[in-house]
Chain A
Amino acid sequence: MEAGATKSVIERLGGVGLLPVALAIVALPLTGSFSSWVTLTVAGLAMGMMIFLMASGLSLVFGLMDVLNFGHSAFISFGAFIAASVLAALAGWAHGPSGALNLLAIVLAIGAATAFCAAAGWFFERVIVRPVYGDHLRQILITVGALIVAEQLILAIWGGAPISVPRPAILRGSLVFGDVAIEAYRIFAFLLGLAVFVILSLVLNRTRIGLLVRAGVENREMVEALGFRIDRLFVAVFVVGSALAGMGGAMWAGYQGLISGTIGSEMLILVFIVVIIGGLGSIEGSLLGAILVGLMGNYVAFLMPKLSLASNMLLMMAVLLWRPYGLLPAVKR
């Protein structure tokens, strides 16, 4: 078959969206056991969804206003710590016998983290980011500075010792299907990430605000020339992005079980890799990149533990050599 025809068939089957499937198929014989493969795949998908929550906002902010926000990880950290505090305060509900109260506790913890980070995002955009639009060097300096301040604030409020974040009782166990055991928390993380993706996609693809955001990612000057204030739109996108980072941080806290003040900066590298792999300004790209990173991280950690740290860097290099603008960039060239 000619290269063009092969490409056309691949595009019809889903294009680059098939990459996670291809990765999973390649990993199946390598893992040597079907149950291990399923466990790793579900873990990768859950991890990918949590990273997607953290990365999607950054991708939109990056794509829409060309702002390099290294302070994004502060929202991940705050989300994690606020969720941990709320869960600790609601320990009676979270660890009691009532499944409904268990769920209510985690929903309230995630809700509090999301709401706080939305408000903090609004403040951050007004005070930190707004004065440095259009100046990348100052953006890096001031957002890194803000990140340091945020981490010190976390240290001052929650102390330097790692904090344990026990999962609510209902999300503690595993669901067993034959030989395969899947952690309930991973299923919850996957479903939450999927729900957020569906909502974001609907807003971006079915509403006028979404249309403006997608257009603004491509050419904000032209959106203004059509009569719209992109700066006002950007505040809303920044707030949503920060809120999602907080939600991702809250979920990650429960996933890790033990958090410290550097949880956000530890995730930032992965978040940037996802944004770059997926393509700037693209929610679909962020999801694809996050799932690839999640799967790759889990498969490689199982097969070649020593390579696990480098695996996502290698993945990013490979993608950039193949598609320099990422897998699904918002701006079509």
Chain B
Amino acid sequence: MNAILRLEGVHTDIAQYHILHGVSFDVPEGGVHVLLGRNGAGKTTTLRTVMGLWRAVRGKVLFRGGDITGLHTSDIARLGVAYVPENMGIFGGLTVEENMRLATATGRFDEARLGRVFALFPALETFWKKQAFALSGGQKQMLAIARAIIEPRDLILIDEPTKGLAPAIIRNMIAAFREIARETTILLVEQNFHFAKALGSGVTVIEDGRIIHQGGMAELAADEALQTRLLSLSMEAPMGTH
């Protein structure tokens, strides 16, 4: 399968700290690819490096075969890469509508697409004219994801979308992500293995800024010994048991 995103020996420093140590992995086109790792392993740094928010000091980031390593974040976004950060990046002083409008290239909505977004996240239609800071945590997460899909994108980078969300909302999120993954590729950073397992087709495991495993999610899910060896993660409780 073709890789939509390829990292080749990527090193990233943040101030005096060397965070990524030659990270290399492929994200195949289509479906959900999961980047797993414990706190501080380098997952967020990897996403931010892909997005150009932090610069790789060595190595290459290739998107559809083209080198995007030195590109400005806005140029990477315009190539068709969307980013949903861990803090969701919602503009609280703007209404839900304004948040969404900002994510469109022309300021106008494709009504059919907007309809599909509302079908996935009905709460957004209800609170369309409300300021986003007044939304609940789950609704903010929905808005952040809706903003990433309001225009056609080739790749969506999503950083820990389940953090702090109730199990019922996480279940809705799984359904939404499955729907979104029909037309785009998702690179999902997660600590919640149960959520990752429900969605991912491929998985990459990162530890201390180095890739320690890449393969299919089904194999990892079936092999408890491998899970224990790779994922001495802060494994969150299975959904629904909170």
User: CA–CA, A224 to B94, complex, Å?
Assistant: 16
Does B101 belong to the interface (CB within 8 Å)? yes
Mark the stretch among A29-37, A103-111, A139-147, A207-215 that contacts chain B. Answer: A207-215
Q: Find chain A residues with CB under 8 A from B89 CB.
A: 219, 221-222, 225
User: Which of B74, B98, B147 lies at the interface centre, i.e. has the most chain A CB atoms within 10 A of its CB?
Assistant: B74
Minimum CB distance partner of B51 in chain A:
A225
Q: Whole-angstrom distance between the alpha carbons of A218 and B53 in the complex?
A: 17
B interface, how many residues as a size bin? 20 to 34
Known: A224-B74, A224-B77, A226-B102. A208 touches B92 (CB 8 A): no
- Cβ-based interface call for B118 (8 A): no
Residues B74 and A218 in contact, CB atoms below 8 Å apart: no
Contact with A333, one of B73, B92, B94 (Cβ below 8 angstroms):
B92
Q: A226-B77, A227-B74, A332-B93 are in contact. Are A212 and B102 (CB under 8 A)?
A: yes
From A219, A331, A333, residue with most partner B Cβ within 10 Å = A219
CB pair A225–B72 under 8 Å, yes or no, is no
Least CB distance from A317 to B in Å reads 26
Contact in complex: B91, A218 (CB < 8 Å): yes
Distance to closest chain A CB from B97 (angstroms): 10
Residue from A218, A227, A229 in contact with B105 in the complex, judged by beta carbons closer than 8 Å: A227
Write the nearest CB–CB distance from A248 to chain B, whole angstroms. Answer: 25
Contact B91 A224 (CB under 8 A): no
Q: Does B85 contact A (CB under 8 A)?
A: yes
**A interface size (C-beta, 8 A):** 22
Determine whether A154 belongs to the interface, using a CB cutoff of 8 Å to chain B: no
Cα of A96 to Cα of B68 in the assembled complex, Å = 65
Q: How far is the CB of B136 from chain A (nearest CB, A)?
A: 14
Q: A208-B107, A225-B73, A227-B77 are in contact. Are A330 and B93 (CB under 8 A)?
A: yes
Shortest Cβ distance from residue A93 to the other chain B in the assembled complex, whole angstroms: 44
Residue in A closest to B103 when the chains form the complex, CB atoms = A226
Residue of B nearest to A230 (CB): B74
B147 partner residues in chain A, CB cutoff 8 A: 226
Q: Which residues of A contact B242 (CB under 8 A)?
A: none
**Cα distance A227–B78 in the bound complex, in angstroms:** 5
Q: How far is the CA of A96 from the CA of B209 in the complex (A)?
A: 76
CB-contact partner of A214 in B51, B74, B93, B105, under 8 A = B93
Given that A227-B74, A333-B133 are contacting pairs, would A211 and B102 also be in contact in the complex, using a CB cutoff of 8 Å? Answer: yes
Asked if B139 is at the interface of the complex by the 8 Å CB criterion, the answer is: no
Which residue of A224, A228, A229, A331 contacts B92 across the interface (Cβ within 8 Å)? A331
Looking at the assembled complex, report how far the CB atom of A67 sits from the nearest CB atom of chain B, in whole angstroms: 19
Measured in the bound complex, the distance between the Cα atoms of B202 and A48 in whole Å is: 61
A315 to B105, CA, bound (A): 44
A residues less than 8 Å from B72 (CB atoms): 224, 229
Please give the distance in Å from B49's CB to the nearest CB on chain A: 13
Q: Is the CB of B77 within 8 A of A218?
A: no
Q: Shortest CB–CB separation between residue A7 and chain B, in angstroms?
A: 15
A228 to B, closest residue via Cβ:
B74
A211 with B77: in contact, given A222-B85, A225-B51, A225-B83 (CB under 8 Å)?
no
Residues of B that sit less than 8 Å from A by CB = 51, 53, 72-74, 77-78, 82-83, 85, 89, 91-94, 98, 101-103, 105, 107, 131-133, 147
In the A-B complex, the 8 residue pairs with the smallest Cβ-Cβ separation, listed nearest first, are A332-B133, A222-B89, A332-B92, A227-B77, A224-B73, A225-B83, A227-B78, A332-B93
Residues of A within 8 A of B (CB): 208, 211-212, 214-215, 217-219, 221-230, 330-333
Interface CB pairs A-B, < 8 A, 11: A214-B93, A218-B93, A218-B94, A222-B91, A225-B51, A225-B83, A227-B77, A227-B105, A330-B93, A331-B92, A332-B93
New A-B pairs, 13, CB < 8 Å, besides A214-B98, A225-B82:
A214-B91, A218-B93, A219-B89, A221-B89, A222-B85, A224-B74, A225-B74, A225-B85, A227-B77, A227-B105, A331-B92, A332-B133, A333-B133
